[in-house]
Structure 1
Amino acid sequence: MTSSSTESLEVEVSTYYEYYNDYLDAPKPCSKESVKRFAASFLPVLYTLVFLVGLIGNVLVIVVLVKYKRLKSMTDVYLLNLAISDLLFVLSLPFWSYFTIEQWVFGTPWCKIMSWIYLVGFYSGIFFIMLMSIDRYLAIVRAVFSLKARTAFHGLITSLVVWLVALSASVPELVFSESFNERNYTTCKPKYPGNFTRWKLFSTLEINILGLLLPFIVMTFCYSMIIKTLVHCRNEKKNKAVKMIFAVMIMFFFFWTPYNIVIFLQLLEITGVIRDCQVSRNLDYARQVTEILSLFHCCLNPVIYFFMGEKFKQYVKMLFRNWWLPGGICKWCGVPITYYTESTSSFHTHSTAEQDAL
Structure 2
Amino acid sequence: MELSNSTLSSVAGLQVVVCVVFTLIFLVGMLGNSLVIWIILCNIKQQFSTVMLILNLAVADFTVLITLPFWIYSFADGWVFGAPFCNVLLYVVHCSMYASVFFITAMSIERFVAVLYPFAIQKWWRRGTIGKLTIGIWVSAFLFAVPVIDQKATHVEHPQCSLLLSSYRQQKGLIVLETLVGFVIPFLVLSICYALVAKRILKMTLQSKSKSMKVIRSVVIAFAVCWLLYHIINLLTVSSILTKTSSPEVSKMLLNISERVENLAGALAVTNSCINPILYAFAARRFQNGFNTSGIAKLFQQLNISIAEKFSNESNIRRDNFQTSV
TM-score strictly above 0.5: yes
Partner AA of 1:209 in structure 2: L
Could you tell which deviates more after superposition, 307-316 or 162-171?
A: 307-316
Counterpart CA distance in 2 for 1:306 and 1:77 is: 18
Q: Per-residue CA shift, 1:284-331, capped at 9, x if unaligned?
A: 1212111101211111110111221467989944599xxxxxxxxxxx
5+ long unaligned stretches in structure 2 = 1-6, 299-304, 306-326
2:97 is the alignment partner of 1:138: no
* Structure 1 residue 231, shift from structure 2 partner: 2.2
2:227 is the alignment partner of 1:256: yes
Q: Secondary structure at the match of 1:210?
A: helix
Q: TM-score, normalised by structure 2?
A: 0.80
Partner AA of 2:231 in structure 1: N
* Structure 1 residue 150, shift from structure 2 partner: 3.4
> Conserved in 2, the CA contact under 8 Å of 1:108 and 1:179?
yes
Tell me the residue number matched to 1:147: 122
Q: Per-residue CA shift, 1:162-196, capped at 9, x if unaligned?
A: 0110000101112245344x5xx365223434xx1
Distance 1:187 1:302, change over 3 A: closer
Distance 1:151 1:253, change over 3 A: farther
Counterpart CA distance in 2 for 1:249 and 1:295 is: 15
Q: Per-residue CA shift, 1:87-139, capped at 9, x if unaligned?
A: 12111111111111222110122101110111111100000000000111111
Distance 1:82 1:187, change over 3 A: same
Alignment of 1:86-97 (within 5 A): 86-97=61-72
Give the number of the structure whose alpha-carbon radius of gyration is greater.
1
Counterpart CA distance in 2 for 1:274 and 1:41 is: 33
5+ long unaligned stretches in structure 1 = 1-31, 321-337, 339-344, 346-358
Partner AA of 1:170 in structure 2: A
Could you tell which deviates more after superposition, 65-74 or 163-172?
A: 65-74
Tell me the residue number matched to 1:113: 88
- Larger RCO, structures 1/2 (Cα 8 Å, 6+ apart): 2
> Conserved in 1, the CA contact under 8 Å of 2:239 and 2:254?
no
Counterpart CA distance in 1 for 2:273 and 2:291 is: 21
Q: Per-residue CA shift, 1:192-234, capped at 9, x if unaligned?
A: 34xx111111111111101111111211121111111122333
Tell me the residue number matched to 1:335: none
* Structure 1 residue 161, shift from structure 2 partner: 0.4
Q: Determine which structure has the larger helix proportion and give its number.
A: 2
Q: TM-score, normalised by structure 1?
A: 0.73
Counterpart CA distance in 2 for 1:128 and 1:110 is: 27
Alignment of 1:162-173 (within 5 A): 162-173=137-148
> Conserved in 1, the CA contact under 8 Å of 2:237 and 2:258?
yes
2:201 is the alignment partner of 1:230: yes
Percent identity of equivalent pairs: 25
Alignment of 1:276-291 (within 5 A): 277=252, 279-291=254-266
Counterpart CA distance in 1 for 2:81 and 2:107 is: 37
Alignment of 1:38-117 (within 5 A): 39-70=14-45, 72-117=47-92
Q: Secondary structure at the match of 1:275?
A: helix
Distance 1:57 1:317, change over 3 A: closer
Q: Secondary structure at the match of 1:232?
A: coil
Partner AA of 1:98 in structure 2: Y
